[in-house]
A and B are shown apart, each in its own frame.
Chain A
């Protein structure tokens, strides 16, 4: 009698263990690989490279000059062309400052308004000075600067 109840309990315990074990194996075998699978694209570093903007001779003295280029990007399974715009400023024709046109507040695009001698951001009315410093509005820091180099009369910036 007692033997058979023992057996009952063992059977039940066996099933319980088996279900937990199988569940654990399935959960582990899928759950663990799922983590890198899900965060993979976020881990991928954007590649750094030098982007050719154009002839340095196009940069006007003392006026932020807009350079627009398209660059090839690969996002996921799609190869696309992306617009890339920066403002280049020089005061002496020797030293340049290459500024991003991306507002440091929340990422809208800023525009140089010649009449006002300032950059404006339409999203929350930010104003930046010619050199990129914040004059008014919510942006927390000046416009970002890019590393640049001049070679054979062309100006390049480092992106990434």
Chain B
């Protein structure tokens, strides 16, 4: 019965071959460092879920942002936990992504034919850092405010167009409601959309090309 249903579905969806390509593909005999990419992926998913949960209460407006965050942490049942996961997950995300990059680097897995996997990876790292940078402002407390003041000032020291870039980042010359709104929009729309797109390419290549073997000493 169940098998019949599965066959019926597979005839129309062809999901079995997709399943096989993803989960039953052949991999060389590798080591635990090869799980770092998957660990990053799992964490990215949890960040997505906890982030979506936070947007149910968070308000990106200077008048209410801080109060809404305090409400989440002190008034809502399990709010402190959801926020805590997202908060610590953000740091773990950067650490894991870099660890994954290092494993790819030291095992020489970035070489032909995996250059594009590496390049999409570089952009993924930038996105992960972008998440951290934009997310840090959102609680709109003193630490957030001054960290972003400093962070955007750093953009300002770029030669020539620095001052202009600073104004683009802040949406004006000073940190304001405009800054908070655009950081929020970037954090919950632009970066997730970019992450999904690049991750799609990244994982497609991992599956299409197959994972690299651990290099031999005499290679």
Contact = CB atoms under 8 A, between A and B. Distances in A.
A148 to B, nearest CB: 31
A10 to B, nearest CB: 14
A76 B49 contact: no
B76 A41 contact: yes
A77 B70 contact: yes
B149 interface: no
Contacts of A76: 57, 68, 71
Interface in A1-36: 12, 22, 26, 29-30, 33-34, 36
Given A77-B64, A77-B70, A78-B67, A22 B82 contact: no
A22 B46 contact: no
A19 to B, nearest CB: 8
B160 interface: no
B175 interface: no
Contact of A36 (B45, B49, B68, B78): B78
Given A36-B77, A37-B79, A41-B76, A30 B49 contact: yes
B81 A77 contact: no
B56 A38 contact: yes
A33 B46 CA distance: 13
A77 B67 contact: yes
A78 B49 CA distance: 26
A40 B50 contact: no
Given A26-B45, A30-B46, A40 B70 contact: no
B53 A37 contact: yes
A135 to B, nearest CB: 44
Nearest to B65: A77
A78 B57 CA distance: 12
Nearest to A31: B49
Contacts, number: 48
Interface in A57-75: none
Contacts of B57: 76
B50 A30 contact: yes
B144 interface: no
Contacts of A36: 77-78
B44 to A, nearest CB: 11
A36 to B, nearest CB: 4
A30 B78 CA distance: 10
B85 interface: yes
Contacts of A30: 46, 49-50, 53, 82, 85
B59 interface: yes
B123 interface: no
Most chain A CB within 10 A, of B79, B81, B85, is at B81
Interface in B31-53: 42, 45-46, 49-50, 53
Nearest to A37: B78
5 contacts: A34-B78, A38-B56, A77-B59, A77-B68, A78-B64
